[in-house]
């Protein structure tokens, strides 16, 4: 382990790494810092050739101290699919889909939860809790079961039924809440001290992002260490986007890539688009969306705790933020399936809609190298595809 400390993403305060902690005293997310000079001695391009095809291949820049505490279901190193048929139809020859539905529990949430639960295991946690829109709940349920921990899940009552059944089948304690994920989060915050739960909410502990950042490492490795021109990412809490940007900075310091960065495009539903609204209004934070609604449940996050980080990344990368309708994102998930054989989540479909909008507007050139991150499987969202 090459961890040196934790540091606040807002005020810069430092904290020791070998302790259970949620947020900084200022209320903002904490990030893990590494001794990258030490990491670069063994994390080399040549060394990676012989490593296991999971996210744990990047162990020098992951926070776990003792690998015996690893709680894993074989997550990571998902396919980077060259979408040739879809690309031909759109006249975009270098279109790729990073298919996160191939993870355990069928979404990118497995990356964050393997890390959060492994670290919780290392630090002596026996009870975990999370508010979720669905897929994070399923992932926590799976990894907590494997670790022998309690998992207390709080999800909106209209969460896709597949997620609810999944959590129940994995032995989790599931509570349905009349409200949004933010309402679920309030319940966890109010009860965690008395119940003895460790809160693994998005960006409210420092380790889920370390699992998510491996998407950036994998993407670079799978593209022969040349990052794409544009990355489209469906944004609810935004941990994956933040994690990838962190990975790019680490990789540059490690000597694995140069200074080039992709333009990052945050995609949301028009029924819940706090990042899109804040970006185009020139704001540093997103306002909380009232009556947020979308069939893409992973995008139904009315207020992201890391919104200021997401907005900063979009601007630093010369990227943008796009909102799309539920009707379009569901239809374009079907288009991805019909052309490429990937049953994408509605969140994945939203990326295709956004791509077409930006190409039409001239903001993305058809000859650029473009990656869409399909963050989960459509099988979890059957209600959204009915009719």
Cα 328 from Cα 136, distance rounded (Å): 25
| First and final C-alpha spacing in the chain | 51
Question: 203 or 55, which is more confident?
Answer: 55
What is the number of other CB atoms lying within 10 angstroms of the CB of residue 181?
A: 29
pLDDT at 387: 58
Query: What was the pLDDT predicted at 195?
Result: 96
The model's pLDDT over 256-302, given as tens digits with 9 standing for 90+, comes to 999 999 999 999 999 999 999 999 999 999 888 988 999 999 999 99
Looking only at the bridges linking them, the beta strands covering 320-324 and 198-199 are unpaired
d(CA 385, CA 296): 11
CA atoms within 13 A of residue 301's CA, in its CB half-sphere: 27
Residues contacting residue 190 through CB under 8 Å, at least 6 positions apart: none
The rounded percent of the chain whose pLDDT value lies above 90 is 95
- CA triple 276-329-83, angle to 5 deg: 105
Q: How far is CA 363 from the centre of its chain?
A: 25
The tokens describing 321, both together, are 């933020």
pLDDT of residue 36: 98
335 φ, ψ (degrees, to nearest 5): -60, -45
Q: Whose CA is closest to 217, among 350, 339, 382, 98?
A: 98
**Token pair of 364, please?**
């993305």
Tell me the angle at which helices 214-222 and 239-254 cross, rounded to the nearest 10 degrees.
60
- CA dist., res. 335 & res. 254, Å (int): 39
Global confidence as pTM = 0.96
Q: Decide if 32 contacts 116 (C-beta within 8 A).
A: no
Alpha helices in the chain (DSSP H): 36-39, 45-48, 84-90, 109-122, 135-147, 161-169, 181-195, 208-212, 214-222, 239-254, 274-280, 307-316, 326-340, 346-360, 382-385
What average pLDDT is seen over the chain? 96
pLDDT in tens, 227-250: 999 999 999 999 999 999 999 999
CATH number belonging to domain 80-107+208-385: 3.40.50.1100
Contact 375, 336 (CB under 8 A): no
| Tokens of residue 3, six digits | 């961890």
Segment 315-323 shows an average pLDDT of 98
> Which residue ranges make up each domain of the chain?
80-107+208-385
């Amino acid at each position: 382990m090459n961890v040196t400390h934790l540091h606040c993403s807002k005020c810069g305060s430092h904290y020791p790494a070998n302790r259970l902690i949620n947020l900084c005293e200022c209320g903002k997310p904490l990030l893990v810092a590494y001794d990258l000079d030490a990491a670069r001695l063994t994390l080399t391009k040549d060394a990676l050739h012989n490593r296991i095809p999971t996210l744990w291949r990047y162990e020098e820049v992951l926070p776990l101290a003792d690998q015996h505490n690893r709680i894993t279901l074989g997550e990571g190193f998902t396919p980077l699919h060259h979408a040739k048929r879809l690309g031909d139809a759109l006249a975009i020859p270098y279109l790729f889909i990073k298919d996160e539905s191939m993870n355990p529990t069928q979404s990118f949430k497995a990356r964050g939860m393997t890390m959060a639960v492994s670290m919780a295991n290392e630090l002596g946690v026996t009870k975990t809790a999370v508010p979720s829109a669905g897929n994070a709940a399923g992932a926590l349920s799976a990894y907590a079961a494997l670790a022998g921990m309690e998992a207390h899940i709080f999800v909106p009552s209209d969460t896709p039924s597949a997620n609810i059944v999944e959590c129940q089948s994995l032995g989790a304690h599931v509570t349905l809440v009349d409200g949004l994920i933010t309402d679920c989060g309030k319940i966890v915050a109010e009860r965690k001290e008395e119940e003895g739960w460790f809160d693994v909410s998005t960006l409210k502990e420092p380790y889920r992002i370390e699992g998510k950042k491996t998407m950036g490492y994998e993407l670079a490795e799978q593209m022969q260490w040349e990052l794409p021109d544009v990355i489209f990412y469906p944004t609810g809490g935004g941990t994956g986007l933040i994690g990838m940007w962190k990975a790019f900075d680490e990789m540059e310091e490690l000597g694995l890539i140069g200074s080039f960065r992709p333009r990052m495009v945050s995609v949301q539903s028009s029924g819940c688009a706090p990042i899109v609204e804040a970006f185009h209004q020139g704001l540093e934070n997103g306002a909380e969306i009232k009556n947020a609604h979308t069939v893409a449940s992973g995008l139904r996050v009315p207020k992201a705790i890391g919104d200021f980080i997401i907005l900063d990344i979009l601007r630093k990368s010369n990227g943008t933020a796009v909102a799309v309708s539920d009707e379009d994102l569901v239809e374009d998930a079907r288009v991805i399936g019909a052309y490429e054989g990937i049953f994408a989540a509605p969140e994945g479909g939203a990326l295709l809609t956004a791509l077409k909008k930006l190409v039409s507007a001239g903001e993305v050139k058809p000859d650029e190298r473009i990656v869409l991150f399909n963050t989960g499987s459509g099988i979890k969202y059957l209600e959204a595809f009915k009719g």
